[in-house]
A and B are shown apart, each in its own frame.
Chain A
Amino acid sequence: MKYILFSLAVSFLMISCESEGELTKTEVGSTPVLSESVLQYSGVFTPTSGIDVTGKAGIYLDGEQYKVSLEGFSISRGPDLKVYLSTSPNPNEFINLGALGNGMSQTYVIPKGVDFNTYKYVLINCQQYNHLFAIA
Chain B
Amino acid sequence: MKKYFIPLIFSTFFFQFLQAQGCSDAGICSIGTLQENPDKAAKNQIEVSTILGAGESDTQYFSPSVTYTRNFNERWDAAAKITSSFASGSFGQRGSIGDAYLLVNYKPANGKIFKWSYTAGAKIPFNRANLKINNHPLPLDYQSSLGTFDFLTAANLSYKKFDLNAALQIPVFNINANSYFAEYSGTADFPTTNLFERKPDMLFRTIYTITTKKITFKPNLLFIYHLGEDTYENIYGRRLSIAGSQGLTVNGNLISTYNLKAASIELSLATPFVVRDIRPDGLTRKYTVGISYKTRF
B195 within 8 A of A: yes
Kindly identify, within residues 90 to 104 of chain A, every residue whose CB is under 8 Å from any CB belonging to chain B. Answer: 91, 93-102
Partner-binding segment picked from A9-17, A34-42, A53-61, A65-73: A9-17
Give the A-B contact count at a CB cut-off of 8 A: 117
Q: Are B130 and A24 in contact (CB under 8 A)?
A: no
Q: Are A22 and B64 in contact (CB under 8 A)?
A: no
Kindly identify, within residues 1 to 54 of chain A, every residue whose CB is under 8 Å from any CB belonging to chain B. Answer: 1-2, 5-6, 9-10, 12-25, 27-28
Q: How far is the CB of A32 from chain B (nearest CB, A)?
A: 15
> Of all chain B residues, which has the CB nearest A127?
B179
Q: Which residues of B contact A101 (CB under 8 A)?
A: 135
B93 within 8 A of A: yes
Q: Are A13 and B84 in contact (CB under 8 A)?
A: yes
Size category of the A interface is 35 or more
Q: Are B181 and A20 in contact (CB under 8 A)?
A: no
Compute how far the CA of A23 lies from the CA of B88 in the bound complex, rounded to whole angstroms. 12
Q: Are A10 and B82 in contact (CB under 8 A)?
A: yes
B66 within 8 A of A: yes
Q: Are B237 and A96 in contact (CB under 8 A)?
A: yes
Which of A2, A20, A98 is within 8 Å of B46, CB to CB? A2
Per-position 1/0 for B119-157, Cβ under 8 A of A: 000000000101111111100000000000000000000
Size category of the B interface is 35 or more
B109 within 8 A of A: no
Q: Are A13 and B177 in contact (CB under 8 A)?
A: no
Partner-binding segment picked from B25-33, B94-102, B241-249: B94-102
Q: Are A24 and B237 in contact (CB under 8 A)?
A: no
Which of B133, B177, B185, B186 is within 8 Å of A18, CB to CB? B133
Q: Are A21 and B89 in contact (CB under 8 A)?
A: yes
Q: Are A21 and B92 in contact (CB under 8 A)?
A: yes
Q: Which residues of A contact B128 (CB under 8 A)?
A: 128
> Of all chain B residues, which has the CB nearest A2?
B295
Compute how far the CA of A120 lies from the CA of B236 in the bound complex, rounded to whole angstroms. 15
Q: Which residues of B contact A93 (CB under 8 A)?
A: 237
Q: How far is the CB of B4 from chain A (nearest CB, A)?
A: 17
Q: Which residues of A contact B96 (CB under 8 A)?
A: 16-17
Q: How far is the CB of B199 from chain A (nearest CB, A)?
A: 22
Q: Which residues of A contact B183 (CB under 8 A)?
A: 111
Q: Are A18 and B93 in contact (CB under 8 A)?
A: yes
Kindly identify, within residues 66 to 124 of chain A, every residue whose CB is under 8 Å from any CB belonging to chain B. Answer: 80, 82, 91, 93-102, 111
B113 within 8 A of A: no
Q: Are A14 and B181 in contact (CB under 8 A)?
A: no
Beyond A20-B133, A96-B235, A98-B181, whether A9 also contacts B89 by CB under 8 A is: no
Q: Are A13 and B179 in contact (CB under 8 A)?
A: no
Q: Are B135 and A5 in contact (CB under 8 A)?
A: no
Q: Which residues of B contact A23 (CB under 8 A)?
A: 90-92, 136, 185-187
Q: Are A98 and B177 in contact (CB under 8 A)?
A: no
Beyond A21-B133, A27-B134, A128-B128, whether A98 also contacts B184 by CB under 8 A is: yes
B65 within 8 A of A: yes
Q: How far is the CB of B184 from chain A (nearest CB, A)?
A: 4
Compute how far the CA of A4 lies from the CA of B206 in the bound complex, rounded to whole angstroms. 35
Give 16 A-B contacts (CB < 8 Å), ordered by A residue: A2-B295, A6-B46, A13-B65, A13-B66, A13-B82, A17-B93, A17-B95, A18-B132, A23-B187, A24-B91, A95-B236, A97-B235, A98-B137, A99-B137, A111-B235, A127-B179
Q: Chain A residues in contact with chain B, CB under 8 A? A: 1-2, 5-6, 9-10, 12-25, 27-28, 80, 82, 91, 93-102, 111, 127-128
The list of the 6 closest CB pairs from A to B, nearest first, reads A21-B92, A9-B66, A24-B133, A98-B184, A24-B136, A28-B135
